[in-house]
Structure 1
């Protein structure tokens, strides 16, 4: 809701007591099915490269990096992620097997305004369309909103990447619009679709995740109610 200033102009609502937020840390985030660990090339690199190889080159179509010809190239990429100033990468660890099966990164981190983005979302076939995939996203969101108390959590993707668009909407992100011809990557033009979750939406989104992840919502490994359906009913 807008305010009116002394000149009769509409201005944004006051943000009482706002302070610069803390930069995300290299923490371990634990769930029931998986955990997120700081991405380490010695510990996770070979496991991830092997897991991703099962998907073939199509896994990298909509990402600005990859495919990687060999494990050394992938390890170099992990180094680059860890050396990027506004990026904190995490490996997704399958709790039952103890193996790394995917990555999530916090990128474009803006502590002053309490905004950041989830990026380099790379899920191996073992992780795709599983409870673990959803729980991993939830664990990172909880850390961003409940611990770090950021105001805005972004998701961006190639406008032609249908699975990524659908995933964002399922997880509770709201579509904000399309930036036309914003990027050239892999020799192609890209229109980028923007999505976000903001802090005032988080409580209902969190409740929906908790209800969806509850064991009572599953029978013989199949969900009884979808995540979006639960969220819409809150």
Structure 2
């Protein structure tokens, strides 16, 4: 509200961290093949911390956009984390394992729930530093407690793996699926509060509560989706998800 942004400017504001997080996943995946993902995960959390402390000092849209691009580094955590956990499980159990890991996305629901409480008690400027301290604590605990993965490929194996992945049309096809499905998910998270408030005349707190429910359930269902993928195959589960999403989005249009 303080910047009086138009709808287009607000869209750019929201999309800045998403863009960096998406584009950063390719080099993050390449690095995860060559180096220890535990170290990369810790480094990624540390790199994501400074912009949170800088956040209270930003007053222009340009500043927020640049800071958003920096914060978007945190989006690479999914790629690094997936590479970290896959070596611990056989292929017939990896879906469940990755689903449980993906359920950590519910953390975004926790931030939505905590933000109003933090604002009410300490003001908007306190959100960034408080989350920054939390991220520093988590980085330290992860570095201290998380085990080192049991297998680290050689640099030659990593290079061959990367080349094979880039040459595979299947990888690009799956990337296109992910582009639409997860992209739509992020778009809904960003725009649902405004949608609820404008379409149904809900208060800000009510709109955030409905969005919180959407984020929490979408995060928790990932573990179930991973289990179904192990049992019935990823392709079958993917197509089921596509059709369910299409039906739900059709009703949302009206």
The alignment's TM-score, normalised by the length of structure 2, stands at 0.32
User: Which structure features the higher share of strand residues?
Assistant: 1
User: Which structure features the higher share of helix residues?
Assistant: 2
